[in-house]
Structure 1
Amino acid sequence: MVCQGEDQRLVGLPQSYGRTISGEIRGMNILLKGAFYSGHGLAEGNRILLRILEQAGHTVRIHPVDKGWVKEQVLSPEETGYLSSFEQKTLPTRDLFLCNWIGSEIRYDPDYRVNIVRTTFETDRIPQSWVSELNRFDEVWVQCAFNSHTFALSGVKAPLRIIPNFFDDSQYVPIGDKMALGALRSYLFLSVFDLKERKGYDVLLRAFLDEFTRRDDTALVIKVRSGKNVSKLREIIDAHPKPAEEKPCIHVIDRMFSGSDLIRLYRACDAFVLPTRGEGWGRPLFEAMLMEMPVIATSWSGQTEYMNEGNSFPVKVERLVPVRTKPELDGHYWAEPSVSDLRQKMRYVFENRAAASVVGKKARAELLSAYSMEATSSKVIAELNKFR
């Protein structure tokens, strides 16, 4: 049977950031370009980056690229008003242009003394069309060693700096209000993704349907951004050879969530699973680990920056396969995760819940130690201080 269906604070930033010994603020005038108003992961990161820059004493104007195409409101009126106040901010001097966006849309701005770009990509290289423009920048920020390698391998000669993804860790509290999902099953696997081939949802559905039956007291909860193309999930489920009356429960949520609602969804589920073919970072994976969830995900690309055998359940890669999604990605490769290993990892977590819970708790502790808001903020400030 197949079932279907705020205000952000920033803590941990030392008061000394952006100040001289005498206490005077010596900030730069910065134009920050990218997404801000949408539910895109880059937008959430930019909202946090804006606060880091502001609290460090810099004057910031934002150039939002997404304001015109936001269809569903995910921000509170207070947060929207806060962001809007930075759109008309006056910059007395043009010290630094910081662009945090998709590489194909990034352009160097010669009107600014310093240009920094922050971007990412999910295959074994970056599009060749990006390289010449990225090489005009003073620095290129990437989120992980995986991208530092793939960007350099692709011909990026500009200085590469690893700046981890931006998270306000104070928002990720495992204990609290849970989202009501109904009486699905006693153990819930969760997966959050865009409906793209890269996310490996076909592998996920095949493995779950192969491994579990209706007799197993478990369900798979899938969260996607909207109902667009959600029929692809139904087609895979219906095409699976297991008889309909034997298929395990799969519950689909097809709408945008606010940050607080997503936290409630994490709390309502027991384990997180995503056999992705490639990530620049893997935001939902990181969030789930912060929420103490046992995480099962492919052992390749950006998430290997923070996932390991001790704090998660990495899924083996059968091989790297050619990317067939776009002509401009001819020659690119990404991972094909092992269905059999994914099945084994899901079965283990399901049947060894106490042991899996211990792994989830270890993950949260490790991530809070290595990727706290204070630690990431200090890396940002240190990079910018070089250009004062």
Structure 2
Amino acid sequence: MSGVKYIGPVFDGSGYAEAARNYVLSIYRKGYPITLAPISFEQTRPDLGEDGEILKSLIDASIDYDKIIVHSTPDLWAHWTKFETKKHIIGYTVWETSKLHPAWTMACNRVNEVWLPCDWNMNVFRDSGVRTPLYKIPHAIDVPDLDSVPNFNIDGVGANDYLFYSIFQWQERKNPYGLLAAYTAAFTGVDDVCLVLKTYMHDHAGD
């Protein structure tokens, strides 16, 4: 059985990295042949424990493969469409806005398939001129037993407060200041609301 070569930022700390790890581990645990080619966008390296050891064991694993999954933004797909011309190349990506840069549309149209996690992205990519077949592949997530998850308390947050929760990498593209401006415009300091941010700095200058 021919396997798959997976290219993604599996050792980073970003959302892209978390999603890529979950896909690679899901494929591995299903017994499907997989070889891993890690890429990186940052210097953040979370402790991945046992999963990290599994991922390391898959790097450059010697298998026969006829498919390549490139899990990144489309601007990075050109290397594989140029040099892996005899493989079936799948680009996996996700995007927040309502349109794509024309260069991204061109990159998508050079791969054999594009995988996207949600209907929003499916519509955006179609409307932006992507003609390559699009498939909705939701993120692979192991949902824990919620009854076993301990209560998470934050000092200063009332038990009856309405919580807003946002997770993102702190950079200009994510528009954190727009989020804060909208929140402070909508609520006052006496409203029973709270905005919780789960974020971290990234490694690119200028944001």
Pick the TM interval, shorter chain.
Answer: 0.7 to 0.9
Percent of matched pairs sharing the same residue: 23
Cα distance in 2 between the residues matched to 1:112 and 1:48: 27
Is 2:15 aligned against 1:41?
yes
Equivalent positions of 1:1-388 (< 5 A) are 27-66=1-40, 69-71=42-44, 73-91=45-63, 93-107=64-78, 108=81, 109-110=83-84, 112-170=86-144, 173=146, 176-186=149-159, 187=161, 189=163, 190-210=165-185, 211-213=187-189, 215-226=190-201
Cα distance in 1 between the residues matched to 2:111 and 2:123: 18
Q: Please give the TM-score of this superposition, normalised by the length of structure 1.
A: 0.45
1:161 deviates by: 1.2
AA of the residue aligned to 2:47: L
AA of the residue aligned to 1:135: N
Per-residue displacement from partner, 1:332-383 (whole Å, max 9, x unpaired)?
xxxxxxxxxxxxxxxxxxxxxxxxxxxxxxxxxxxxxxxxxxxxxxxxxxxx
How many residue pairs get matched?
199
AA of the residue aligned to 1:195: W
Q: CA RMSD in A?
A: 2.9
Equivalent pair of 1:33/1:63 in contact (CA under 8 Å): yes
1:96 deviates by: 0.9
Specify the alignment match of 1:320 in structure 2. Answer: none
Per residue, is there more strand in 1 or in 2?
A: 2
Cα distance in 2 between the residues matched to 1:75 and 1:83: 12
Per residue, is there more helix in 1 or in 2?
A: 1
Per-residue displacement from partner, 1:211-256 (whole Å, max 9, x unpaired)?
222x44554332221399xxxxxxxxxxxxxxxxxxxxxxxxxxxx
Cα distance in 2 between the residues matched to 1:130 and 1:28: 29
Segments of structure 2 that go 5 or more residues without pairing to the other structure are: none
Cα distance in 1 between the residues matched to 2:54 and 2:167: 28
Change (3 A) 1:145 1:203: same
Equivalent pair of 1:94/1:111 in contact (CA under 8 Å): no
Q: Please give the TM-score of this superposition, normalised by the length of structure 2.
A: 0.80
AA of the residue aligned to 2:73: I
* Structure 2 SS opposite 1:52: helix
Point out the more displaced range, 28-37 or 153-162: 153-162
Cα distance in 2 between the residues matched to 1:227 and 1:155: 31
Segments of structure 1 that go 5 or more residues without pairing to the other structure are: 1-26, 229-324, 326-388
* Structure 1 SS opposite 2:169: coil
Change (3 A) 1:216 1:142: closer
